[in-house]
Amino acid sequence: MRLSFIAPRKKYLFSMFTKMWIIFISFIFIFLNIFNLFVIYKNSDYISSTKELNMQRAILEKNIDETDDKISFILRQKAVAEEIYANNTILKDSIKNLFDLVPDQITLTKVIMEKNSLVIYGITPTKDTYNFLLKAPLKSIFQTSNTMFYLTKNGWYNFVSISKTLDPKEEM
């Protein structure tokens, strides 16, 4: 018996519209999961990059500290070298002045120059020549000046002059 004017059609569990929605939701779900995995991967990549950069920063800070130490060492060496150069210049000028101070009649055989003293060995024709030409300038430069004379076979005098300046620390 037929009660319907149309032929019966198959009825599906899901309609075409529902199937499209399920496929669309499945694609969105897969896409979101892929995006989530991508975000997780990038996050772990950023964390590892951060760790590497922190290690590099620590190494660079250590290198900076070592470089600063080297620079300070070099600056100390430079200061010492400049001080030595200045002392050498002063010593050179002092020796030049000393030799300019010695008259032609007096011959020097040995000179020992220290920080606060000057020891001169030499030969002079007479004690008076030494006393007038060399002792007076030495007394004006040094606080104490002592001279010992030794007569030689030819009638000249060997002398040893010890001149000292007092260190300000010794006076106290």
**What is the CB neighbour count within 10 angstroms for residue 163?**
19
% the chain with pLDDT above 90: 50
Instruction: Quick: pLDDT tens for 15-73.
Output: 889 999 999 999 999 999 999 999 999 999 999 999 999 999 999 999 999 999 999 99
pLDDT of 5 above 90: no
CA distances from 97 to 106, 141, 162 (A): 15, 11, 17
Supply the pLDDT for residue 159. Answer: 93
pTM: 0.51
**What is the CB neighbour count within 10 angstroms for residue 98?**
17
pLDDT of 4 above 80: no
- Residue corresponding to tokens 């220290």: 114
Whether 160 contacts 121, CB under 8 Å: yes
Mean pLDDT, residues 128-144 taken together: 84
CA 110, CA 159: separation in Å to the nearest integer? 11
Supply the pLDDT for residue 172. Answer: 47
Task: Considering only residues 157 and 166, tell me which one the structure prediction assigns the higher pLDDT.
Answer: 157
Instruction: Quick: pLDDT tens for 109-126.
Output: 998 888 788 899 999 998
Task: Considering only residues 171 and 38, tell me which one the structure prediction assigns the higher pLDDT.
Answer: 38
